Chains A and B, each alone.
Chain A
């Protein structure tokens, strides 16, 4: 590695307590990559979930914990992002299939025009949940991204 002037080691958090150096791409360095050291990406099934809202949301789908693929539900507390999740050695959601529940009203857009009915299918892609302020009082959250996010 030194011969090519490239440092190919994965991020330190990725193999903490982990003998497998390629756990950061879920042991699949051919099909997945992590070029920013933030999110495991793979085409076409991987995505990420970020909760930048003031609500706790529950997501159902495929996720990874300690390099092991799992399926189930996962709570993303307010402000939780993939980076912070992973820095705690916790969970990386790679395909958030459904938004199951939220502790705030969910709207279809940032303008809070239509209330989104849960559960909602999200599909492949990046899911980002953010706060929104309604035109006529109140506030809630909306989500964007993913192949199935409502428009």
Chain B
């Protein structure tokens, strides 16, 4: 009887672990993005893209999404901004990482690693860089936020780094 009971307990534990993994895997991407970066996303947020790289205490997470221009002030108000940086050019592509349109040797950045090269254009028209915000991160060591504009929509690019 004892081996049977043990087997049942082990099976139940394995099943619980499996269900937990499945449940976590089915978490909506917007919730994963909000949790990863420690941010509240506005209801107008849409067209989410998200990827992570690295392990444990040395990793990074990159997300990009669109929000309505009317929600931008509320979104920015939750950030603990350390510095604001203007772009060095008036046009560019948010899908490109690295220094891109921002000054070299900026305080924060999105690494140019291949792991973050998944970004795709989800809007029509040309995006214009507005501002880059270097922030204290509520979830990691530092937070990098890029704000781009496409008509009445803002494209938000967020990178959190753990070191």
Contacts and interface: CB of A to CB of B under 8 A. Distances in A.
Interface of A: 44-45, 61-62, 95, 97-98, 100-101, 108, 116-121, 123-124, 147-148, 150-151
A116 B54 contact: no
A63 B153 CA distance: 42
Interface in B59-106: 59-60, 96-99, 104-105
B53 interface: yes
A148 B112 CA distance: 11
B124 interface: no
B113 A121 contact: yes
Interface in B93-150: 96-99, 104-105, 109, 111-115
Contacts of A119: 98-99, 109, 111-112
A44 B57 CA distance: 10
Question: Which of B55, B58, B104, B161 is most buried by chain A, counting CB atoms within 10 A of its CB?
Answer: B58
B43 interface: no
A116 to B, nearest CB: 7
A116 B112 contact: yes
Given A95-B58, A123-B54, A123-B58, 18 more contacts: A45-B58, A61-B163, A95-B163, A108-B114, A117-B113, A118-B112, A119-B111, A120-B113, A121-B54, A121-B60, A121-B111, A121-B161, A147-B58, A148-B53, A148-B111, A150-B113, A150-B114, A151-B114
B134 to A, nearest CB: 14
B54 A118 contact: no
A77 to B, nearest CB: 18
A87 B141 CA distance: 32
A118 B109 CA distance: 10
Contact of A118 (B53, B99, B114): B99
Given A101-B104, A119-B109, A119-B111, A44 B99 contact: no
B141 to A, nearest CB: 10
Contacts of B56: 44
Contacts of A150: 113-114
Contacts of A116: 112
B54 A147 contact: yes
Contacts of B60: 121
30 contacts: A45-B57, A61-B163, A62-B163, A97-B58, A97-B163, A98-B111, A101-B104, A101-B105, A108-B114, A116-B112, A117-B96, A117-B112, A118-B98, A119-B99, A119-B109, A119-B111, A119-B112, A120-B98, A120-B113, A121-B54, A121-B60, A121-B111, A123-B54, A123-B59, A124-B58, A147-B54, A148-B113, A148-B115, A150-B114, A151-B114
